[in-house]
Amino acid sequence: MTETRANYVNGEWVSSETGETIDVENPANPSEVVARYQQSSAADAAEAVDAAVDAQDDWATTPGPERGRILREAGTILQERKEELTDSLVAEEGKARPEAAGEVQRAIDIFHYFATKAADLGGTTKSPSGRRKNLYIRQEPVGVAALVTPWNYPIAIPVWKLAPALAAGNTVVLKPASQAPGVVLDVAEALDEAGLPDGVLNVVTGPGSTVGNEFIENEGTDAVSFTGSSHVGEMVYEQATDAGKRVQTELGGKNPTLVTDSADPAEAADIVATGAFGTTGQSCTGCSRAIVHEDVYDDFVAELVDRAESIDVGPGNDHEMGPQASESELEGTLDYIEIAKDEGATLAAGGGRPEGEAVEEGYYVEPTVFTDVESDMRIAQEEVFGPVVAVLKVSDFEEGLAVTNDVDYGLSASVVTDDHTEANRFVDEAEAGVVKVNEKTTGLELHVPFGGFKRSSSETWREQGDAGLDFYTIEKTVYDNY
């Protein structure tokens, strides 16, 4: 019998007042319903906000080391349940098992990192200009944080928003993506068992148009953090700022890897393939453009095509690349493949549904490579969010830099080169919030800032590391004349 899971509000597991549920299917086998979740209403979301507001003062005055102890214990509980959480990720989101396990470990590590940070929060002391005075800055929580999170990293992204929010003393309302909400509820269970007070975290499943909208507009929330598409994120930003909220958005990308004439084509192909085809291309930092110097272009394409064609596609538990997360995601990728063909790009690898018994039922697509791509084509300008990479030929490093920046996005960018000057110029001139040298565009350290430029971000607040705490704290300056 399929499990029906409840919302987590004010320390209790509760059903929606609608009485309706959402079925989540296994993208590797859509006839299998993995679990049912609450199809919540705006009233359910408002109840969660009320709980967070009521709990805020007590949580804000809880000592930082105690908040950190709870986060650390939650991380330990997740570590004990890592296999179970990995199973859930594979079943709901479709990730290949090693990728799913890595994402779960990332969430565990984030909890432990911010558990330590919680004890260090407080503020700084400055020297006053007069005698018998104290001058210091206090860091205080913003209040109630509303988190709206995506399906492509359904445990890592919620946790990298949630952990700093809780560490800083904020209470939280969280709407996970409807395609893969199970692991967020598992996180709520772990925090509950770790001793998180009632109302400090509230998780409500359901549509963004009702639950998310209520979280953003409700006068009880003080800050909004959203990760998702640029189109939706820009609407969220406008909506949240109109409501007077502090807001942070991390959005889409059209991430390039520039391959210079000094690069080894095989090494460059490894870097691009890993960035483009990992997580089935469903990463906001995934490489979707390879910008390649004409002197190494042919060798690079041959190497990249070889890697694309060698990837083992099938169910995530025992294959290298899993399905796309939903039928709509698959259809979107296939549509872009047809658009690229119509624009005149050359299909060099993939381009369709794979064949075989293991992939008959799921939302599978072949790793796909297009060559002869021009920078003004839609395949080179618009986010595909599937395992599709466009290869563009350039005549020199200057042209490569120009093509690198010739998009509306600026999330992640990398260069493959043996020339130190080129590497430094790329770091200086690439219009991206994350820049890498001789590395794939994907993969992030948890203790440094993450965020994009242009349409990849609101460019307001960064996530992760100390920058992640900045969003969830506000400074109070104290002048104490004793």
Q: To which H or E segment does residue 287 belong?
A: strand 287-293
Would you call 32 helix, strand, or coil by DSSP? strand
Structure tokens at 404: 């690198």
What values do phi and psi take at 300, rounded to 5? -65, -45
Q: To which H or E segment does residue 202 belong?
A: strand 201-203
- Whole-number Cα distances in Å, 39 to 8, 106, 261, 329: 13, 29, 54, 21
Catalytic residue flag (residue 287)? no
Q: To which H or E segment does residue 348 belong?
A: strand 346-349
C-alpha 440: how far from chain center: 16
Closest alpha carbon to 269 in 410, 367, 194, 355 = 367
What values do phi and psi take at 456, rounded to 5? -85, -5
- Whole-number Cα distances in Å, 23 to 34, 45, 154: 8, 20, 16
Which of 284, 373, 390, 403 is flagged as catalytic? 284
Q: Which residues lie below 8 Å from residue 399, measured CB to CB, with a gap of 6+? A: none
Active site residues: 284
